[in-house]
Amino acid sequence: MADDTELIIALAEYEHLRELSRTVHDQSSARFTFFLAVASGATAVSAGLITTGRPDGQIRPAVLAGLGLLVLLLGVFVFARQVELNDRGRRYAVAATVLRTYLARRAPGLTPFIIMPTLDDAGPFAPEPFHRHWFRDLVSQAGMIALVNSVLVALAATMAVLLLGGPVWLAALVAVMVATASVAGHLRAIRRRVARSAAQVGTVLTTRSLAAPSRVAG
């Protein structure tokens, strides 16, 4: 009877984790899609203002700057939220892996048929490790938002140099430097959050004598 109670609790917790993971995935995708829609709309409006704006061109720089600032502010907020959601998703994946290990150990005969990762067997769908290459972070949803933010910051820096009377080559150089620094800053924020999450997960798993965090990262 005790074993049945433990199994019921484990299955309920596992199902709850599945729902939480699905919610995080849906929220992350919705925010990313919304940001892309806003950025695409702002780009289309900017292109329209450039080609069909007032002949004297007086209103266009201010409007273009306002649109760029709006997208940049939105990008910063969405980026921060994406990093948080990604962190939650990784933690939920670790929790699901731990519970899956418990269920597999209860029925050792079924272990060869379980293809999702456990603490004892990574399986064919081994999760991504916490300590992964920076390029994986760059091509993630948060990384794509970081690229858009960096481009906007670089464009702002370029316009500032040109408005101050600087040469084109200097504006281009400043744009490259600003964009590179911005991307690096965004990636650093992502990787610091991942490292902090890995440390916290590792502490819990080590305390409970389960496994190292690199084996169960999401």
Least confident of 54-63, 143-152, 155-164, 198-207: 54-63
25 pLDDT higher than 90: yes
Please tell me the distance from the alpha carbon of residue 111 to that of residue 165, in angstroms, as a whole number.
70
Tokens of 218: 């999401």
- Residue with the two structure tokens 């481009």: 151
- 3-state SS, 130-194, equals CCCCHHHHHCCHHHHHHHHHHHHHHHHHHHHHHHCCCCHHHHHHHHHHHHHHHHHHHHHHHHHHH
56 pLDDT higher than 70: no
- 3-state SS, 47-107, equals HHHHHHCCCCCCHHHHHHHHHHHHHHHHHHHHHHHHHHHHHHHHHHHHHHHHHHHHHHHHC
Please tell me the distance from the alpha carbon of residue 49 to that of residue 82, in angstroms, as a whole number.
31
213 pLDDT higher than 60: no
Percent of the chain with pLDDT over 70: 91
**164-181 per-position pLDDT tens digit:** 888 989 989 999 999 999
Confidence of residue 1 (pLDDT cuts 50, 70, 90): very low
**63-106 per-position pLDDT tens digit:** 778 888 899 999 999 999 999 999 999 999 999 999 999 999 98
Residue 215: predicted pLDDT: 54
Residue 217: predicted pLDDT: 56
